[in-house]
Chains A and B, each alone.
Chain A
Amino acid sequence: MPINANLLRARIEAAAAGASRDLVSRDALLDRLAALIGPGADPAPFAVDDNAAPISAQARFSAGETAPSVFDCGVNSDIPPIFALIAVDGSQILPDRHKPMMWALARAAAVCIVYGNGSEPALARALAGEPVLRFWSEEELWTSGRDGEPLTAGDINTERDVLERELLAERCEAARGAGLLPIALTDGSLLPFSLLNDRAWGNRPDPRALDSFRRVSNALTRMKDAGALVAGYIERPNSAAVIKACAAVGGGRQPPPTAFDRHLYERVLGPGQRGALFDPVWRVNGPDLLGGDGNAIRAVYARIEPAAARPNTIRIEVPEWRCGPGDLATLSAILARQTRLGAGYPFLLKAAHEEAVLTRRDQAELDTALLGAMQRHGLRFAASLKQSAKELE
């Protein structure tokens, strides 16, 4: 049934008016905070005190570049002559308890282009490898769940993220085995979202988070051993770690929850520029977790688009073992080229998405295949009456 928008008109108007009113004060605050990290600002307030404990989710500019700095992104001459560019992405189908049988599926897929070695599409295809599938039957969903509940959507999303990192490590090893420099890209953070939440790492860490952490850290170590350059490309990032650091330095009122680091860097960076590298200060980056394995993650904001394009501040995450100025120049130059090719979004990540995506049609076909298998084994299940009624629509 269509929505009667008139019933919500007052709420919509109030939301727009509120956003407009808040925008003025938010912009004033962002301008003030941006001045703290703009060129020429005093770096002293951001100096890291090694004796002080880092404050959770508040950026620490401890990675060798001072906060009030702007650097040029890489250019074509920073791109190595020969390398294998590898991108991964994933997709999942979540369980539906109204179906005749509950099931779930995650898929990770990689794509690869070999640059500078002559056209070797067969090699590129071999280096991309085969997609990885993880299927959960109804029984597995329930036995793997917690507190009498089946696996959650968050659990399945995390498993998909871990599969992607493991596949990326495998593909980097394959590229290195073929004598090529692997340069690896993920869509989004290098870490599964569930690991970034500090609540996962309380006094008694969640065993599932620990398992995911170990697998991801192992994958990062494999990429490191393969000599890979690795980057997580985050479009429209919603982190506020740098804003929090600036607010702590600058004092005054706290920024609103709708102010993000990208809003800050839009004021500081020009096209083809990046800010200073920083430690996002996640609990998972600590010395007992990723830091202890030498796999802590660093981040940087950048505008890699050309001058004429719509401003787009992105976040790039890199592992601590390949995050020097030369590495960032190479990665930003490659990402700039990829985004030009991909109409604003990295071309090869778009290709990886096409390889990985699971569609509603895939879901329907798997439903049919499962029903057929159940029938062959003499099983008879039916969809819930709610599901059956929906399908009559």
Chain B
Amino acid sequence: MTVSSQPLIGRVRHARVPAFVFGTRLPESAVPRFGSLVRTRLRALDVTVYGLVYDIEVNADDAGTTRLLSIAEDVLDEELEWERNRLIPLDVSVLCVGYRDAAGNLRQALPPQPPISLDAIHTCDAAELQSFHSQLDYFRLVLDARDAPADEVIAASIRYAADAMEGDRRSFILACGRELARLLSGDSARLEQILRRLQ
């Protein structure tokens, strides 16, 4: 599959095989969404790693001007607008949910290596989302994740991907529901909670 040239949105700060954090400074309108799919590349192995955004934290190191304006008197509109539209420094946490190997095969399993510091992070376009969600094996990785709010992440990722399924939204969500029912057959309460979030 050809990987599209989606814009660079950040660079890896630190990483483990199951998860990584990337730093970014983006206008509010471009902040990645919880549950969205992003990708990076392991250059040494020619592997593309996919992950789901599971946490977004405003970097407190850079919040000084916000604090100052919040207590200042006589703040002008220009100053408030400037602060609101500042490139917000964010730390974005990502759960690894699959990779595409050098031969182009998609594997919804943990990648062979973590990304390297400062590797580039890109969003995925609709074609990549559709291609990635042609399999749903990644559900198990998310449901078993310990550091992430797994049920929220999986529901958000399904909703996010469903928007990219032109015309097939309903059938895609039904397929996801069936896969979740199979994986959570012994935990009907948890299944119900996730399914409610898909409605």
Contacts and interface: CB of A to CB of B under 8 A. Distances in A.
B43 interface: yes
Contacts, number: 65
Contacts of A65: none
B65 A124 contact: no
Contacts of B65: 347, 350-351, 354
B20 to A, nearest CB: 12
B12 to A, nearest CB: 8
Contacts of A368: 14, 116-117
A372 B13 contact: no
B74 interface: yes
B78 A347 contact: no
Interface string A366-378: 1011001000100
B82 A113 contact: yes
B61 interface: yes
A177 interface: no
Main DSSP-derived SS at the A contact region: helix
Contacts of A351: 65
A369 B81 CA distance: 36
Interface in B35-85: 43-44, 61-62, 64-65, 68-69, 71-79, 81-82, 84-85
Contacts of B8: none
A31 B147 CA distance: 65
B174 interface: no
B68 A121 contact: no
A328 interface: no
B68 to A, nearest CB: 6
Interface stretch (A281-289, A308-316, A335-343): A335-343
A350 B117 CA distance: 28
Contacts of B69: 341, 347
A125 B87 contact: yes
A370 to B, nearest CB: 9
A115 B117 contact: no
Nearest to A117: B78
A122 interface: yes
A121 B64 contact: no
Contacts of B75: 341
Nearest to B91: A361
B118 interface: yes
A113 B71 contact: no
B61 A359 contact: yes
Contacts of B68: 341-343, 347, 350
A111 to B, nearest CB: 8
Interface string A340-357: 111100010011001001
A291 B60 CA distance: 44
Contacts of A361: 13
Contacts of A347: 65, 68-69, 72, 79
A115 B27 CA distance: 20
A198 B61 CA distance: 38
A121 B84 contact: yes
A42 B96 CA distance: 77
Given A124-B82, A369-B117, A354 B13 contact: no
B64 A354 contact: yes
Nearest to B73: A340
Nearest to B81: A119
A341 B44 CA distance: 49
Given A113-B82, A341-B79, A366 B117 contact: yes
A326 interface: no
Contacts of A113: 78-79, 82
Contacts of B62: 354
A96 interface: no
B72 A369 contact: no
Contacts of A124: 82, 85
Given A125-B85, A365-B118, A376-B44, A343 B78 contact: no
A334 B71 CA distance: 19
A185 to B, nearest CB: 15
Interface string A163-190: 0000000000000000000000000000
A115 B76 contact: yes
B61 A116 contact: no
Contacts of B82: 113, 121, 124
Contact of A369 (B27, B71, B74, B118): B118
Given A341-B72, A351-B65, A359-B61, A122 B85 contact: yes
A369 B14 CA distance: 10
Contacts of A357: 61
Contacts of B72: 340-343, 347
A365 B117 contact: yes
A116 B78 contact: yes
A36 interface: no
A272 B72 CA distance: 19
8 contacts: A124-B82, A125-B27, A341-B68, A341-B75, A350-B64, A365-B13, A365-B118, A369-B118
Given A354-B62, A354-B65, 16 more contacts: A113-B79, A119-B81, A124-B82, A341-B68, A342-B72, A343-B71, A347-B72, A350-B64, A350-B65, A350-B68, A351-B65, A365-B14, A366-B117, A368-B14, A369-B116, A372-B116
Closest 10 CB pairs of A and B: A121-B85, A119-B81, A368-B117, A372-B116, A369-B117, A369-B118, A365-B117, A113-B82, A351-B65, A354-B62
